[in-house]
Structure 1
Amino acid sequence: MLVFDHVTQRFGSTEALSDVSLRLEAAVVGLVGVNGAGKSTLMKLAVGQIAPTKGSVAIDGTDPFSRLGRLGYCPQEADLPAHFTCSEFLTYLGWLRKVPKRSRATQAKEALRSVDLESRANDRIAHLSGGMRRRLLIAQALMGEPNWVLLDEPTTGLDPEQRASIRSLLSGLSVNCNILVSSHIIEDVAVLADHVVFLYDGRVCHEEPSQRGRDAASLERLFLEAIMQQRRVAT
């Protein structure tokens, strides 16, 4: 279970998150919000990149800095080492995450297979397309066999065919781990999520169980209604 307990996060005078409390345990949780809603901040708190100004974050009862092997993280953007091959990159990350040496190559191969890049194992990252690099970012999040995989806007910048491919990939991955995926693209969350959380202006304005493949238009209406309600509360 991934738990945010009355979390507030400030950066100077800016409050990015305000008193956020969540208990997440669904196979796929969709985190929805417009740009600047606080989605990326919530992700960084979950993986221990930053510590909350107030409150606490835990996964299966552990603190943010004891989560090695429990959480995999795919940021919205990352500089990948262009001169590495895909296999070299994942094997190196396996070493960083303290995957036993005897298991690193096997895990790297399995991660590449999971994202349909096994045939590109020996290709240098510089030669990959944008969609392939996005899949490689997801693959690196799988190293260490985490209980949770967190993906920050994984379909941003992809064309419709690539987005559909990523959605299919994430649906398959959820068989073996829990997934928290953030997006401002309602369609992606509607297809994937077993539970949805709406963020607006750093606050949770709505959450509920969902059903994969639900109508995107109805989810969008619910999101807009939740935003309007939050605005009324704030005024």
Structure 2
Amino acid sequence: MKLQIDSVSKVYRGQAALSQIDVTFSKGVHSLLGPNGSGKSTLMRIMAGMLKPSSGRVLLDGEDIVQMGERYRDILGYLPQSFGLYKNFTAERFLLYISALKGLDKALAAERIEEALHAVHLQDARHRKIRTFSGGMKQRLGIAQALLNDPQILILDEPTAGLDPQERIRFRNLISRMALDRIVILSTHILSDVEFVSQRIVLIRAGRLLAEGTAEGLRKQMRGKVWTLTCSQAEAPLHLERFPVRSVSHTETGVELRVVADNQPAPGAKPAAPTLEDMYLYYFGEGAVGDEVSFHRTV
């Protein structure tokens, strides 16, 4: 099974939100990574069939999802970044309502609701009204509703927002299990989630596809671009103005900076092993120096 984004663009009021996006997703976990306003949510809404592209199309195994209509929606699970909840409903009643909207019969709905509640660890809160839920519990309920129809394509926009560390670990384990036989596409700003679960990472900036690759491949592309530099207290502000700096540590010998730069930022700076956080700062941070020319698109 392959979901192909074929030359998709989206224009709002003369402004391009997406420009000629071409990428293909197969079974496994794929993460969309980019700053706020980069076009990730717009792309996810188009993939979910909630928004029509200005040009281009989305194909599932060669068939346009618009033409597929209900057949596509039957195999899709979608969690938008913002979703509505009926606060006076219990969790179970809300999921029953969503099951009805998805066309599940009562017997199957009861079975799927039980599975979904256990998957997100809300089985003990099934009879509580949603208005009493914490932000993390509401987010888990949103994930549960996306799972009800046992989707073959699961699109999750910021699914770990509001989850505590333990909940995020459970979510990562759940997604890893599900992705063995289906397509999972998610966006998140939490790089540890991206690194732990993603087989493929897609970088988007200003509505354009910047690069795609594995976490290891993206880290390799950063070799020679990450440095540790020890300087005096007086010199530190100058380096902070000149380069993207990921961290500042005060030591007995001065100030140690972790700098992201194409070339050695100052005499004595030493190369450091790159991480995904370094990569994010390089391409998306304030004063970012990375561009499409300096990055191989697929790594």
Q: After TM superposition, is the score higher than 0.5?
A: yes
Q: 1:62 to 1:118 in 2, by over 3 A?
A: farther
The residue aligned with 1:221 is 278
Alignment of 1:142-221 (within 5 A): 142-175=147-180, 177-210=182-215, 218-221=275-278
SS in structure 1 at match of 2:103: coil
Q: Which has the higher contact order (CA 8 A, sep 6+)?
A: 1
SS in structure 2 at match of 1:43: helix
- CA shift for structure 1 position 221: 3.0
The residue aligned with 2:65 is 63
Deviation digits for residues 182-230 of structure 1 (CA, Å, limit 9, x no counterpart): 012222211110111000110110101347xx99962233344455342
The residue aligned with 1:93 is 98
Alignment of 1:31-50 (within 5 A): 31-50=32-51
Deviation digits for residues 5-32 of structure 1 (CA, Å, limit 9, x no counterpart): 0000011111100000011014110110
Q: As a proportion of its length, which structure holds more helix?
A: 1
SS in structure 2 at match of 1:168: helix
Alignment of 1:66-77 (within 5 A): 66=70, 67-77=72-82
Q: 1:81 to 1:51 in 2, by over 3 A?
A: same
Identity %: 35
Alignment of 1:70-149 (within 5 A): 70-149=75-154
Does the CA contact (< 8 Å) of 2:30 and 2:202 recur in 1?
yes
Does the CA contact (< 8 Å) of 2:27 and 2:181 recur in 1?
no
Does the CA contact (< 8 Å) of 1:16 and 1:38 recur in 2?
yes
Whole-angstrom CA distance in 1 between matches of 2:87 and 2:34: 32
Deviates more, 1:20-29 or 1:217-226: 217-226
**Aligned residue pairs: how many?**
231
- CA shift for structure 1 position 161: 4.0
Residue identity matched to 1:7: V
SS in structure 2 at match of 1:72: strand
Question: Structure 1 residue runs of 4+, over 6 Å off?
Answer: none
Deviates more, 1:180-189 or 1:45-54: 180-189
Report which of the two structures shows the higher radius of gyration computed on alpha carbons.
2
Q: 1:175 to 1:114 in 2, by over 3 A?
A: farther
The residue aligned with 2:263 is none
SS in structure 1 at match of 2:104: coil
Corresponding position: 1:12 with 2:13: yes
SS in structure 2 at match of 1:145: coil
Does the CA contact (< 8 Å) of 1:3 and 1:57 recur in 2?
yes
Deviation digits for residues 88-131 of structure 1 (CA, Å, limit 9, x no counterpart): 11111111111233311111111111111112222211122211
Which blocks of at least 5 consecutive residues in structure 2 are unaligned?
221-272, 295-299
Superposition RMSD in Å: 2.4
Q: 1:176 to 1:132 in 2, by over 3 A?
A: farther
